[in-house]
Structure 1
């Protein structure tokens, strides 16, 4: 279960306590209303809410960075009542004496501390409860992980509450506040703009930046005039209300654990002095139950976990399973890397709410009897006779293959089923258990100690954990199957059975193959890169006339703008901006700038590609690296890869070329790259049935040249081919006239005329693209060639998001259909050649497949691969591929 950190908006809470309670006083006449409210809150921890960690965020004394941005910030705040001022330091003193942690930083407000802790806690997978009702903190709300809790009303403030109260989402809140301003903090905002106007503008345009970019499109003249008059103040206001997320981190999270001993008892004598006897009575009577969880409307999912640790028990159960049963299956291992992982056990479930666990490789003193590898293999062969269902089957498939040299069959993969239903949804088993069954699963991190692996987990605990995985997988399969039926989407499940489920084995096969690296090339490249970086560093130091950390934006900003006096963009509390856009604008101002840009590119090459690839290649004696392909990693259906990501190595840069040259075939083999030619444009011709496009492709004409002829005429066609190419591909990706103008470096008006000429030449295209958008708006989804769906949530989308959905939908139609085609090809090629040692399929990079083929077989096999890929489906135009052969990946280009 996810752990929770509670962050207290200390002064905000204390101020509210002061005003919420009557003016209480001790017998000595000292005010105690604020202190009473505060101690009531402390006494209710564990009753009003459960938490694992707690921290009190405090304002620091003196001005903050916001006063540098706007000197009038918080300039007109009323005086604080004397009774309140007397109680504040007492309350702060009690916090520390009780053993709670506080957090503050000079130059920042408590709200910034809260934002930073929330941001850091989210990265650590913690749930964040912010005790406050301050609207300035609404921008932090993230319903999955971060929400506000009003301790007086005892209510949770989430995204729905934010929308209900203000009409904008938390992500839009800073822009809403920037327009509206805040009289309490003296944030100016846009003079004359009230809550309704601010809400309307933000709902339509989403951000301040976008509002001002679209100023001419705002229909109400008054709004336009108000915005123009206060433009500077609008942007200053946004800076003022935007909370910082980089001023506090939770390095030692255990420091924030709740005190084990009752904290109130630590200040019991002091409480008596202030006549707060009722608090003491409550503690003595009830105690403080920190770990009491608020009862949730969560139906407890009960299931039986059955341990099968003898051969007799195991086969008694296996032999009781009916022939055509659906059986959910899962493995437990020592490692996430399937190449190094040893199997520890496996679980399965074929009955409602009952799971079985088979321990194989648990290793600790006093471990119980376990199943031998021989008997486990026999059991797996028996399981293979049933309809096996798994969550992320590719992993289990690889584990069984590596550990038992056995290939498991698959009836369905629940992760892929979830993805087929909605590729943008959360696909993990934990998330699905919560979504469909309101069930919180046992967390791996709560079971396996740091530095250990699953083999050290007690068999009894492992049994519960593993059985739960199998039980939930079976329940999820049944639920998803029912959903496919009820929504008339059985064809998506059939697509899973004909392509997607089996395709997991294709990816496992490619991952097993890996690709060889020429270490000497990378070593040489590393040496040259380090030398070049050192030379650049020396030259930069010389021009700067000082040494500094070039990778530190803060230090670099000080050198460029304070020391060298270059023209700076606005300075914020964190320093000057030195991003690439800023440096490009300064390119001709000083000789140091080109060197800095060169340094950044070289440093990225070194740290992101050269060293990681070199380290991975050195780990294996065969000098091969093994990426992991993600079948469900994108909403369009394209594959992605990780550890390492081989799909984002720069294509057009010299750096990318050098990296690719280190990818080589094994001895006696060559690399062969086969790339679908202009696949998205061919799909556009197929779907739109535009006569001019069909004619061009069916007659094997140069489509970009044909486009140039249609727009610019024959005489200018060859010189304008690049422009035509930009238009051809741009329209598929939703590029408008402004984007085309930026791409080509021309005026928007000229770009608009090109697009109009294009649509006149290819008459059916515009209507077809519009029909895709109309269909998405009507149905809420788009379908690819094989009828895979991408679903869009228009109900909770604003104007900008809806426009983005339409662009993404059009893109998915073509990119997703291209992904369908290459997957079909990969499956067919794998089915034919998976046991042939003369050819290995190594990589898929979007529309290209890369193979390692024995030199003597390149012509024969290469021709067959081209034949398969060009005839994988029958479209209204021919599919074409280009084939390249080389001794490195780079030579395939």
Structure 2
């Protein structure tokens, strides 16, 4: 039995800073709430629990720690406005979903957690604490109490505590007494850091023993310890959690709700425009505690430890479809531990290679195993997320084929809005609950330490389930989605492996110089802001900044919320010209974001590689429209700013070339709508935005209104209405509406096409891209709000999806014609290569322009440079 205790405010705060600043259509911030709901959704799918309780800090500000030390938590900055706005809504959602919340006057959430955890553990219940507060480490007791990280989905036990801080959990309060905690204003001993404190506590265990033997400690360290002796004991008292707040607990109060908690708040989520989670509920079933379904797939997991037997079994595959999967020691720079395969109805095989633990039995030698893998790869091989397996095998020198099929890609093509992990897809299409990876790993460091027999069941299941999914998905694919996976999606896997393996070099010295310059600029801006404000304050504190702007400087208030004055970017931008401090603040925020989001993290990625190359990971299934996305790090999102030119930090060994489809989505609009004015403008290579301005506003005002025409041109593709257009071009909603009406009057066939697209999407339940890839929408179950969203997505999919089809096809053709082409990046409609000669770049351009014949020509811009920032 497991009890999960959530440190509510701590968890919500972490979600706020970890997730992007999402907003509803009404402008209400929803990022934190969305992250929290995703966690609730995972409770029954990725993270099982029998009981759950949310703990809250006392509403009373004067807790017993304040009585001990009046400056306790006195330095806490004011929470950002968007966070404070979301907190009461999140608390309300917890209540409405049926979860138990606990609050005790005068005590903090941490004390409630400690008391609950100790009592539950004493009754034989395993406790998982969801908190990022390091005070929780003092509670860790292996197999009884652990901390759970919901982002990384790992349990933090005694070993991880020792690995991170260098001390055992039972010694943690004495360790904290020396280190202190700046976030809570706990003083500790000044000048004593984590390593020194760990060394002292490992030797002396307690403060009392440490100070009894203070003469053994020499020099400056002794002076520091003696000077802050009182603070050390005070700090220990402050960090020690209460464990006696409960005499008993009624676990039934904490039982995980039987009715799906997400469904209970469906109306509220629709109002907040958080609908993707609701859509997943419909497709994935109820997110309640998982029960093994009656129709669980039954199969035999066969462990192969004999070389002769291995090759005999592989020979029996002949020309059958074979599902293949590898097990590795990590996700980042992985090494092979074993592999599994399946080609029969109810049998799958596991081949151990590099398991390491005391008493490990016979394994297949790595060299022999690789020969066996190559034989399997020469057959009709399928798998789930084969890019990971193939990319890893490539470094062992194996010849990587084009997959016969990848069930992750098939699942995504059929339903691009749902999760495509093997566990989710197996549950959705087979009603089968896979063995969970975390259950197999347990407390082990990685898969190489898993017992071979246990590993065989887990790994063989992955192969067999992939095989069974293939049979179902391929049938559905050809029935429902007429999409060419054989010539597009499957070779694209190999192409992405090649792109990711190239990497792109970062000029570390340039980036360090940029960091120094940006840091200096921020320091200068800080002083200028203080000068204009008339005092020093925390620039990043919404409350303090609002006080300066609206109470000290008396600037006009633009927006006020329940929690105070808004100081978001929109407000600051609207205040431009009212006071010189505004420009400085906007510049400060821009530079601070560049430093923390790009300049420092990119250097960390580059330093991992001896050649200072950065290797991104492209997701083929990352978007519903078909466009690629990039992560770890996201290289599609590097700013184009020229004053702080981060792109200039990326350097070519010889030369970069950028090949960028020009206005591809507007050309697709002309192609699909068959509008003669648009078609003629593109055929004559005219300025499409100026031509649009002429049609709407007349020859005399065309140049003045070109930016408006441009916003309308692109806005219609993305489903922009009058309100959004008015905000974009800074006019009234009435004027924006008139502009759109003029546009449609000038381009009637465009209006007809867009309206017909929405009607056909509702009638058929799907839309098709240029290459006939379909995206389905559940219009039948949609309310008015969801219906409008589906219509926008349907139109958007035709343009973005078709553009994605075209560039994918072009990438594949370039690679087929020029196998040695060094393709480095794809950024939506742009490809970046590293080239030996410009002649090859112009060949790539020809392929891109001729890859598909539209009613109007495809046009590709080309530019060259030694640094990415030089590309136009």
| TM-score, with length taken from structure 2 | 0.69
CA distance in 1, matches of 2:620, 2:403: 16
The answer to whether the 8 A contact 1:400-1:408 is kept is no
The answer to whether the 8 A contact 1:516-1:665 is kept is yes
Alpha-carbon distance, 1:474 to partner: 1.0
Aligned equivalent of 2:299: 303
SS in structure 2 of the partner of residue 330 of structure 1: strand
Alpha-carbon distance, 1:331 to partner: 0.9
SS in structure 2 of the partner of residue 471 of structure 1: helix
SS in structure 2 of the partner of residue 851 of structure 1: strand
The answer to whether the 8 A contact 1:734-1:810 is kept is yes
Unaligned stretches of 5+ residues in structure 2: 9-46, 63-83, 93-111, 122-126, 132-147, 156-250, 279-288
**Alignment partner of 1:849 is 2:836:** no
Q: 1:169 aligns with which of 261, 267, 279?
A: 267
The answer to whether the 8 A contact 2:655-2:866 is kept is yes
Alpha-carbon distance, 1:441 to partner: 2.0
Alpha-carbon distance, 1:125 to partner: 5.8
CA distance in 1, matches of 2:349, 2:438: 22
CA distance in 2, matches of 1:455, 1:547: 55
Aligned equivalent of 1:769: 754
Aligned equivalent of 1:393: 386
Alpha-carbon distance, 1:173 to partner: 7.5
How many correspondences in the alignment? 661
Alpha-carbon distance, 1:885 to partner: 1.2
Aligned equivalent of 2:186: none
SS in structure 1 of the partner of residue 633 of structure 2: coil
Aligned equivalent of 2:730: 745
Aligned equivalent of 1:758: 743
**Alignment partner of 1:694 is 2:679:** yes
Aligned equivalent of 2:849: 870
Aligned equivalent of 1:499: 488
Alpha-carbon distance, 1:600 to partner: 1.2
Aligned equivalent of 1:320: 316
Question: What are the equivalent positions in structure 2 for 1:484-563 lying under 5 Å apart?
Answer: 484=477, 488-489=479-480, 491-492=482-483, 495-557=484-546, 560=549
The answer to whether the 8 A contact 2:507-2:649 is kept is yes
Deviations 1:614-670 (A, max 9, x none): 22222222222111111110011111100110112233x335x6011112210xx21
Aligned equivalent of 2:455: 462
Indicate how the Cα distance of structure 1 residues 745 and 330 shifts in structure 2: closer, same or farther if over 3 A, else same.
same
Alpha-carbon distance, 1:417 to partner: 0.2
The answer to whether the 8 A contact 2:52-2:254 is kept is no
Deviations 1:429-464 (A, max 9, x none): 011122223332222223335682222222222212
Aligned equivalent of 1:5: 4
Aligned equivalent of 2:866: 887
Q: Which has the higher Rg, Structure 1 or Structure 2?
A: 1
Alpha-carbon distance, 1:363 to partner: 2.0
Aligned equivalent of 1:416: 409
CA distance in 2, matches of 1:818, 1:706: 23
Question: What are the equivalent positions in structure 2 for 1:38-53 lying under 5 Å apart?
Answer: 51=49
Q: 1:781 aligns with which of 753, 766, 784?
A: 766
**Alignment partner of 1:482 is 2:580:** no
Deviations 1:786-840 (A, max 9, x none): 1112222334432122112111211111111011000000001111222x3xx41
The answer to whether the 8 A contact 1:342-1:403 is kept is no
CA distance in 1, matches of 2:59, 2:704: 66
The answer to whether the 8 A contact 1:394-1:505 is kept is yes
Aligned equivalent of 1:277: none
Q: 1:363 aligns with which of 352, 356, 373?
A: 356
Alpha-carbon distance, 1:335 to partner: 2.2
CA distance in 1, matches of 2:365, 2:381: 22
CA distance in 1, matches of 2:254, 2:520: 63
CA distance in 2, matches of 1:883, 1:731: 27
Deviations 1:351-399 (A, max 9, x none): 1232211111222233222222221121122102321111111111101
Alpha-carbon distance, 1:97 to partner: 11
The answer to whether the 8 A contact 1:384-1:409 is kept is no
Aligned equivalent of 2:200: none
Aligned equivalent of 1:342: 335
Bigger drift between 676-685 and 302-311 goes to: 302-311
Indicate how the Cα distance of structure 1 residues 172 and 507 shifts in structure 2: closer, same or farther if over 3 A, else same.
closer
CA distance in 2, matches of 1:639, 1:8: 36
Indicate how the Cα distance of structure 1 residues 126 and 509 shifts in structure 2: closer, same or farther if over 3 A, else same.
closer
Q: 1:429 aligns with which of 422, 425, 428?
A: 422
Deviations 1:388-414 (A, max 9, x none): 111111111101111234213410000
Q: 2:840 aligns with which of 861, 866, 874?
A: 861
The answer to whether the 8 A contact 1:4-1:126 is kept is no
Aligned equivalent of 2:657: 672
The answer to whether the 8 A contact 1:343-1:361 is kept is yes
RMSD (CA atoms): 3.8
CA distance in 2, matches of 1:722, 1:541: 37
CA distance in 2, matches of 1:708, 1:565: 41
Indicate how the Cα distance of structure 1 residues 333 and 96 shifts in structure 2: closer, same or farther if over 3 A, else same.
closer
Q: 2:822 aligns with which of 829, 835, 840?
A: 840
